[in-house]
Amino acid sequence: METSKIERTPLGFKTWFAFIIVGLIGQLAWAIENQYINLYVYSQTGDASYINFMTTFSAITATLTTLLIGPLSDKLGKRKPIIAIGYMFWGISVALFGVASLPILEQTGLEVDKAIMWVGILNVIIDCVMTLFGSTSNDACFSSYITDQTDENNRPLVESVISILPLIALALMMGLGLALGVPGSKNPNESQSDFATRIATPWFYFYLISGAITFIVGLISIFILPKDKAIIKREDGFIKNLIYGFKPTSIKENKKFYLTLLCFFCFNIAIDSFMPYYLVYFQEGLKIQGLNFYLIMGSIVLISSLVTIILGLFMEKIGKGKILFGSILVLAISSLLLYLSKDQISAAIGGTLLMSSYLIGTSVLGVCLRDATPNEKVGSLQGVRMIMAVMLPMIIGSNIALASFSSTYTNEFNQIAKMPDKNMFLVTLIASILTICPAYFLFIFKNKKKESAN
């Protein structure tokens, strides 16, 4: 029996260029929000609790924003202008982080301990503002825009490329940080306030440059993004589009979409249990600092990206189910390895496996979710996607991880502060095992039903 070869629908250089540039810089802004802001806030406050506050409130902000903007962009049939304007304001909000530092707050006359508290609060607020514009332009519109511009034949390759952009963005972020001397590390016998003051100026320039890059990409995206292909649904009211994803009839009509979301929910709880904290843990817990920090993280980024690209090229041939189950298995093994790691080599190996499984699993689930999304309801379903795949996993994962931390210390102001430790990887291990159940029903059970029907 001959098997028909699937021809990929060509996208063209301009479309690929726009996807990569706009997607990459968007991921750079998100990488800063998800990674380096955590290191920045920890350097200014010395307390991981503020990282959890940022993760929780930004997740809620992102979801509420996407709930409103997704259906609105469906009704308007216009995503491109929202992406462009959103990116420009996104860039401005990124730059604002640089002014929410300990030395600047101390200049207001606040005592150091009060200034540290307000640094944490202000960064939580700025993070929510940044998330508002990022979710508007990237989560609600750019994600839907890619679905509009692709089909089932070219989507696996596009999703594989898109899925590695976060790690490439992470590499760019670390390269800029290395050039400017951030995140830096506290010297022996250096107080928290002295370290915060010393590192504040490099952080200021880091955020200023990153914000400017995001702003410029938003400006040029007006010219490089191809014309909108969104299906305009003017006969549907805004409220109807808004609540569409939460109706029982929608679940019955799109069972595969919601089953994929359930799988994403469990998988991302595993990811969000370590993602907000692992860079702090590498620096403070495992003492991977200085040039070694950049070398290890650079290796993790490079190897994970290559593995994801290669598997993405053969995703349809190997099968999405096999790749997903493999990534879940590797996620469980690597989280256990990192829990047991006590040296830099084992941490580097575990980190590479962990990031590879995260990227590959996200890529597979992303393809499945796009394929299961009705073309006329792309924006209307972004809100329920954000709740199940982003907001709830971020809140649940980060809070359980925070509660699991057994490492606390009393800072110079006699305040008890939490420090990320290896226990978060046990949370990841448990959540990754729980992911097997919805993944089974998504792939194996579905295939068995097909076989019995034949």
Residues forming a β-bridge with 417: 409
Q: 123 lies in a domain? A: yes
Give the lowest-confidence range in 2-6, 20-24, 233-237.
Answer: 2-6
Q: 7 lies in a domain? A: no
Gap between the Cα atoms of 126 and 95, Å rounded: 10
Q: 415 lies in a domain? A: yes
The CA distances from residue 400 to 51, 61, 270, 282, in Å, are 13, 20, 10, 19
Listing DSSP states for 390-449 in one string gives: IIHHHHHHHHHHHHH---EEE-TTS-EEE---THHHHHHHHHHHHTHHHHIIIIIHHHHH
Round the average pLDDT of the chain to a whole number and report it.
85
Residue 451 clears pLDDT 60, i.e. is over it: no
Q: Which one-letter DSSP state was computed for residue 142?
A: I
Give the lowest-confidence range in 5-14, 26-35, 261-270, 279-288.
Answer: 5-14
Q: 414 lies in a domain? A: yes
Residue 81 clears pLDDT 70, i.e. is over it: yes
Residue 373 clears pLDDT 50, i.e. is over it: yes
Residue 309 clears pLDDT 60, i.e. is over it: yes
Kindly indicate the confidence band of residue 401, based on its pLDDT and cuts at 50, 70 and 90: very high
Q: 3 lies in a domain? A: no
Tell me the per-residue pLDDT of 165-183, one tens digit each, with 9 for 90 and over: 887 888 899 889 989 988 8
The CA distances from residue 450 to 278, 442, 444, 454, in Å, are 42, 12, 10, 6
Position 349 scores a pLDDT of: 95
Q: 142 lies in a domain? A: yes
Q: Outline where DSSP puts E strands in 231-350.
A: none
Cβ–Cβ < 8 Å for 71, 383 = yes
- Closest to 11 measured CA to CA, from 153, 162, 218, 168: 153
Gap between the Cα atoms of 210 and 165, Å rounded: 16
Position 212 scores a pLDDT of: 97
Cβ–Cβ < 8 Å for 193, 412 = yes
Position 85 scores a pLDDT of: 95
Gap between the Cα atoms of 79 and 73, Å rounded: 6
Integer-rounded Cα Rg, in Å, for the chain is 22
Higher pLDDT, 334 or 313: 334
Cα-Cα-Cα-Cα dihedral sign, residues 424, 425, 431, 435: positive
| Total domains in the fold of the chain | 1
Gap between the Cα atoms of 353 and 357, Å rounded: 6
Tell me the per-residue pLDDT of 105-163, one tens digit each, with 9 for 90 and over: 989 888 888 888 999 999 999 999 999 999 899 877 888 888 888 887 787 788 778 87
Tell me the per-residue pLDDT of 404-444, one tens digit each, with 9 for 90 and over: 988 766 655 556 667 888 999 999 999 999 999 999 988 87
Q: 8 lies in a domain? A: no
Place of tokens 């989507």: 155
Position 3 scores a pLDDT of: 43
Residue 189, domain extent: 13-453
Tell me the per-residue pLDDT of 185-210, one tens digit each, with 9 for 90 and over: 777 788 878 888 899 999 999 999 99
CATH of the domain at 36: 1.20.1250.20
Phi, psi values for residue 445, rounded to 5°: -65, -40
Q: 56 lies in a domain? A: yes
Cβ–Cβ < 8 Å for 212, 91 = yes
